[in-house]
C-alpha cells in the first residue's frame, strides 16, 4: 500500500473475516479501487453537527451529535480546517470466567478530531470497563484532546 498509494501501515486497519479471505493482491486491488473512487469534499461543522458535501454542494453525509447519520440533510456551517487526526485502539475488556472455547469479545475505540472544533468518538463495547475507559483517554490524547 505504501508503494502503490502512499498509505503507510499506521493508516490501515485490516480485519480478517476467516475462511475465504482475499489474497494480499486482491486486498491491494480492492483498496486501490476504493481510493480511486474518492472525490474532494468539504467538511462543515455547526452546533454539534458535521456535514460532508461535494464541491458542487451535493450532500454526502451528516453526522449529528447523537450519532444519527443522514445522507440528504447537510447543514450549513463553518468549514473545518486542518488538521484532521485519527487514532484507533483495540482492547480486551476485563472479563470473568467463561466457558472453554468461547471467544473473548474485543472492543474498539476510535477518535477522529476535525480541526480544533469537533471530535467524533466511537466505542464498541462497555465504556464503563476500566481498560476501555483508559483506551478512550489514550485515543483522545493521540488526536490532541484530553
User: 45-67 pLDDT, tens per residue?
Assistant: 887 888 989 888 888 899 888 88
Q: What is the mean pLDDT of the chain?
A: 80
Is residue 131's pLDDT more than 60? yes
Tell me, yes or no, if the pTM score tops 0.95. no
Alpha-carbon distance 52 to 44, whole Å? 6
pLDDT at 10: 65
Instruction: Quote the cell numbers at residue 1.
Output: 500500500
Q: Which three cell numbers stand for residue 53?
A: 458535501
Average pLDDT, integer, range 95-122: 82
pLDDT band at 20 (very low <50, low <70, confident <90, very high): low
Handedness of CA 18, 1, 135, 69 (dihedral sign): negative
Domain ranges of the chain: 1-33, 39-80, 81-96+104-146
- What integer pLDDT is reported at residue 139 of this predicted model? 92
Q: Looking at residue 95, what DSSP letter applies? A: -
Instruction: Out of 12-21, 28-37, 56-65, 122-131, pick the least confident.
Output: 12-21
Q: What is the pLDDT of residue 142?
A: 92
Instruction: Report the distance separating Cα 87 and Cα 85, nearest Å.
Output: 7
Sequence-distant (6+) residues with CB within 8 A of 62 are 49, 50, 51, 52, 69, 70, 71, 73, 74, 75
Pull the grid cell for residue 100: 472453554
pLDDT band per the 50, 70, 90 thresholds, residue 141: very high
Q: How far apart (Å, rounded) are the C-alpha atoms in residues 34 and 13?
A: 14
Amino acid at each position: 500500500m505504501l508503494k502503490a498509494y502512499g498509505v503507510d501501515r499506521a493508516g490501515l486497519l485490516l480485519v480478517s473475516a476467516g475462511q475465504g479471505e482475499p489474497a494480499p493482491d486482491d486486498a491491494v486491488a480492492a483498496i486501490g479501487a476504493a481510493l480511486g473512487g474518492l472525490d474532494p469534499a468539504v467538511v462543515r461543522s455547526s452546533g454539534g453537527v458535521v456535514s460532508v458535501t461535494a464541491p458542487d454542494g451535493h450532500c454526502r453525509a451528516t453526522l449529528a451529535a447523537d450519532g444519527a447519520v443522514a445522507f440528504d440533510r447537510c447543514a450549513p456551517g463553518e468549514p473545518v480546517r486542518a488538521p484532521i487526526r485519527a487514532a484507533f485502539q483495540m482492547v480486551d475488556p476485563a472479563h470473568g470466567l467463561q466457558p472453554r472455547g468461547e471467544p473473548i469479545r474485543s472492543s474498539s475505540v476510535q477518535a477522529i478530531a476535525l480541526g480544533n472544533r469537533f471530535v467524533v468518538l466511537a466505542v464498541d463495547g462497555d465504556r464503563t470497563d476500566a481498560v476501555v475507559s483508559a483506551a478512550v483517554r489514550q485515543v483522545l490524547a493521540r488526536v490532541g484532546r484530553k
